[in-house]
């Protein structure tokens, strides 16, 4: 059987991990009887997408994103509807998709995961034609994403302090959610999250029932809540029980239109963006190939 051609695209500035030893670690632990590896390193924003496209054009079987959620998104959106599968070595801060797929954080173990993995088809989402693979959202988490992107402190500590600062300045918004099955008015929404997978990074489980293979998104609506309930809410988030909170509503849909009174901050896979008053979000079934167990 011929070896599979596998490319590793390394983001040298993502997260906190030291990247210089990555190639040596891969070469040491990758199954040489199964894979023929190639390596590339991103040099500027958007470079990962260009590199991934080159590997697709060259007929590579797998492209591995070595970085955080932003790197994964950039490379993954190039691989949708191709024969090239996405692999991940988590090397960022949140690592949402990698955690969902149970890919180890330890780099050597992540390479060994690749040795044992198979290629499966999975869903991805579109936010006004912008691909996302984990979650997108409006409200507080979008503000946090924007502030975190501008901050200098990475990792969970940096994320935690951004949340504390953002909480005091965020004002809940009103939205209207329309699908073929419902027309739902949301007043005083603290946050609305549209999930293709169950979690953000750091194992914060915002949509416990979301499944990357079911062709649907899980919508988590968190309404304005009293400050004294925040510790309980945080605990439920990490215990996969957020849906039991009295200030949370959940919906499911394949496609949805979101209306707001103002142009709003959004995020897709943790990347901040600005959206118009009307947006469309939908799930594309089996649109990307993933390397997973």
pLDDT reported for residue 158: 60
CA distance 221 to 247: 8
| Bridge pairing between strands 118-127 and 85-90 | unpaired
38 with 7: CB under 8 angstroms? yes
Q: Give this prediction's pTM.
A: 0.90
Structural contact between residues 257 and 89, judged by C-beta atoms closer than 8 angstroms: no
Q: Is the dihedral of CA 219, 191, 86, 292 positive or negative?
A: negative
Buried b (16+ CB within 10 A) or exposed e, 68-102: bbbbbbbbbbbbbebebbbbbbbbbbbbbbbbbbe
Report the distance separating Cα 128 and Cα 133, nearest Å: 14
pLDDT of residue 67: 92
Closest CA to 37 of 114, 117, 116: 114
Answer yes or no: are the C-beta atoms of 63 and 84 closer than 8 Å.
yes
| Tens digit of each residue's pLDDT, the chain (293 residues) | 789 999 999 998 765 555 568 899 999 999 999 999 999 999 998 999 999 999 999 999 999 999 988 899 999 999 999 999 999 999 887 799 999 999 999 999 999 999 999 999 999 999 998 999 999 999 888 877 766 666 555 555 565 656 666 677 788 889 999 999 999 999 999 999 999 999 987 788 999 999 999 999 999 999 988 888 988 988 998 899 999 999 999 999 999 999 998 887 888 998 888 889 999 999 999 999 999 99
Identify whether the C-beta of residue 23 lies closer than 8 Å to the C-beta of residue 41. no
What is the Cα gyration radius of the chain? Answer: 19
Cβ proximity of 154 and 93 under 8 Å: yes
Question: Percent helix, strand, coil in the chain (nearest 5)?
Answer: 30, 35, 35
Angle between helices 47-57 and 69-79 (to 10 degrees): 40
Write phi, then psi, for 285 (nearest 5 degrees): -75, 135
Calpha distance 79→287 (Å, rounded) = 9
């Amino acid at each position: 059987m011929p070896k599979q051609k596998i490319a590793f695209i390394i983001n040298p500035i993502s997260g906190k991990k030291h990247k210089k030893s990555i190639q040596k670690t891969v070469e040491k632990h990758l199954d040489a009887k199964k894979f023929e590896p190639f390596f590339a390193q991103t040099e500027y924003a958007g470079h990962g997408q260009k590199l991934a496209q080159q590997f697709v054009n060259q007929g590579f079987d797998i492209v591995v994103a070595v970085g955080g959620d932003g790197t994964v998104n950039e490379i993954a959106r190039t691989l949708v509807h191709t024969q090239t599968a996405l692999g991940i070595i988590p090397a960022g801060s949140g690592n949402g998709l990698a955690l969902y797929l149970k890919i180890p954080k330890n780099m050597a173990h992540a390479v060994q995961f690749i040795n044992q993995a198979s290629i499966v088809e999975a869903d991805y989402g579109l936010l006004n034609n912008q691909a996302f693979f984990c979650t997108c959202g409006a409200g507080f988490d979008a503000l946090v994403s924007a502030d975190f992107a501008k901050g200098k402190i990475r990792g969970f500590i940096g994320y935690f302090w951004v949340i504390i600062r953002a909480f005091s300045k965020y004002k809940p918004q009103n939205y209207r959610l329309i699908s073929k099955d419902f027309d739902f008015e949301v007043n005083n929404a603290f946050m609305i999250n549209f999930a293709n997978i169950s979690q953000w990074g750091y194992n914060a489980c915002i949509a416990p029932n979301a499944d990357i293979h079911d062709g649907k998104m899980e919508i988590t609506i968190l309404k304005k809540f009293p400050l004294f309930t925040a510790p309980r809410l945080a605990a439920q988030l990490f215990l996969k029980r957020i849906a039991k909170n009295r200030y949370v509503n959940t919906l499911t849909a394949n496609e949805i239109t979101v209306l707001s009174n103002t142009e709003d901050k959004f995020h897709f896979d943790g990347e901040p963006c600005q959206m118009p008053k009307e947006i469309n979000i939908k799930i594309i079934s089996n649109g990307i190939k993933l390397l997973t167990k």
